[in-house]
């Protein structure tokens, strides 16, 4: 939640920015205030506070404040969490790695960009083509997105090669969507390709760091705010968060799709897969087997 306020997916108005600055400057104190007190200190009206909360995906100030206070408690727990170090045993390091992943997913849940997920899912559902671009570790996430989305919506294809991305992007138009995945949001080849696709009118859904060059090019931003430590024994939590966002996006596409369309597509694919499975005959039990205890 605090991360959403620090890095909003859409620009804040001047009045909303004053509320954000007040909360971020002294979060625990500000969030203990009533809506009238917060409005007074931020020099805005109470309806403006409510609109600020709704922009972040909450019905009102009460639900926003509860979520933000939980987020503060979660950040304190993250800061106190033990880090992996070179003197750890394999067992201890493995447990810390899993704990780090759990904390990353909890942070994502607290700051889930609900409106952005809905907007991205709607665009994907209407698209003619969906291209998914990513390099390195992000390429594996792009492949996962292709595997899940092409079963539900438009023709979906993932590209991990810069030249293939550029050629594919040159064919896109206003009816198409690009999902661009990058932990840094600053990879030169990806930025150039996304700029090309955007120039052709494609909708850009970016899974990346807020404030990055890729985020600036996005039509819809799904923020990934994990700060990855590059030490050899640090878990790669960014990839897990990216995968979780893809899963949430796929669920959104599924729920917005006509039920009959989804069931028919999945049934046809299941039938195609079944034809490629080796079916072995059941092994008959021998008399010895039948008589054994």
DSSP 11: P
Cα(181)–Cα(207) distance, rounded to whole angstroms?
5
- Please report the domains of the chain, with CATH numbers, ordered by start residue: 2-79 (1.10.10.10), 114-269 (3.40.50.10490)
SS3 35: helix
Residue length of the chain = 293
Task: Report the sign of the C-alpha dihedral through residues 188, 12, 14, 34, in that order.
Answer: negative
Tokens of 57: 């995906």
Q: Where are the alpha helices (DSSP H) in 34-113?
A: 35-42, 46-55, 61-80, 90-110
CA-wise closest residue to 124 among 217, 222, 55, 209: 222
For position 81, what pLDDT does the model report?
Answer: 64
For position 181, what pLDDT does the model report?
Answer: 97
Cα(180)–Cα(177) distance, rounded to whole angstroms?
10
pLDDT tens across the length of the chain (293 residues): 677 787 676 678 999 999 999 999 988 899 899 999 999 999 999 999 999 988 776 778 988 888 788 777 766 665 556 777 778 888 988 888 888 888 888 888 877 888 889 999 999 999 999 999 999 989 999 999 999 998 886 799 999 999 999 999 999 999 999 999 998 899 999 999 999 999 999 999 999 987 788 988 999 989 887 766 555 555 578 889 999 999 999 999 999 988 777 788 888 888 888 888 887 655 555 544 544 45
The neighbour count for residue 197, using CB atoms within 10 Å, is 26
Cα(257)–Cα(157) distance, rounded to whole angstroms?
19
Tokens of 211: 């404030």
111-169 tens-digit pLDDT: 788 888 999 999 999 999 999 999 998 999 999 999 999 888 679 999 999 999 999 99
For position 283, what pLDDT does the model report?
Answer: 54
Segment (H or E) for 222: strand 220-223
CA-wise closest residue to 114 among 250, 206, 257, 248: 248
For 231, how many CA atoms within 13 A lie in the half-sphere containing its CB?
Answer: 8
Q: Exposed, middle or buried, 18 (CB in 10 Å: 0-12/13-18/19+)?
A: middle
β-pair type (220-223, 203-208): parallel
CA-wise closest residue to 67 among 9, 3, 110: 110
The answer to whether the predicted template modeling score (pTM) of the entire model surpasses 0.75 is: no
Q: For residue 53, how far is the Cα from the chain centroid?
A: 21
CA-wise closest residue to 4 among 61, 66, 68, 51: 68
Tokens of 116: 């952005």
Contact 172, 202 (CB under 8 A): yes
Task: Report the sign of the C-alpha dihedral through residues 249, 77, 183, 233, in that order.
Answer: negative
SS3 147: helix
CA-wise closest residue to 162 among 193, 183, 138: 193
């Amino acid at each position: 939640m605090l991360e959403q306020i620090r890095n909003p997916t859409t620009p804040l108005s001047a009045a909303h920015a004053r509320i954000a600055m007040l909360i971020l400057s002294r979060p625990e104190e500000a969030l203990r205030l009533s809506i009238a007190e917060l409005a007074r200190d931020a020099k805005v009206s109470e309806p403006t506070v409510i609109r600020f909360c709704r922009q972040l995906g909450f019905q009102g100030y009460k639900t926003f404040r509860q979520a933000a206070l939980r987020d503060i408690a979660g950040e304190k727990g993250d800061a106190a969490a033990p880090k992996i170090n070179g003197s750890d045993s394999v067992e201890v390091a493995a447990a810390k790695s899993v704990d780090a992943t759990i904390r990353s997913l909890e942070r994502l849940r607290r700051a889930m960009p609900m409106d952005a997920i809905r907007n991205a899912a709607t665009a994907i559902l209407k698209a003619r083509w969906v291209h998914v671009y990513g390099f390195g570790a992000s390429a594996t996430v792009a492949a996962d997105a292709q595997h899940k989305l092409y079963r539900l919506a438009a023709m979906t294809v993932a590209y991990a090669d810069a030249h293939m991305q550029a050629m594919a992007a040159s064919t896109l138009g206003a009816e198409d969507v690009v999902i661009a995945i990058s932990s840094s949001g600053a990879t030169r080849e990806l930025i150039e390709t996304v700029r090309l696709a955007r120039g052709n009118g494609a909708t850009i859904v970016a899974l990346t760091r807020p404030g990055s060059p890729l985020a600036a090019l996005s039509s819809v931003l799904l923020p990934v705010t994990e700060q990855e430590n590059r030490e050899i024994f640090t878990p790669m939590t960014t990839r897990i968060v990216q995968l979780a966002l893809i899963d949430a996006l796929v669920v959104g596409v599924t729920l917005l799709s006509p039920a009959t369309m989804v069931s028919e597509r999945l049934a046809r694919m299941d039938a195609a897969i079944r034809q490629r499975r080796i079916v072995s005959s059941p092994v008959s039990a021998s008399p010895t087997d039948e008589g054994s205890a």
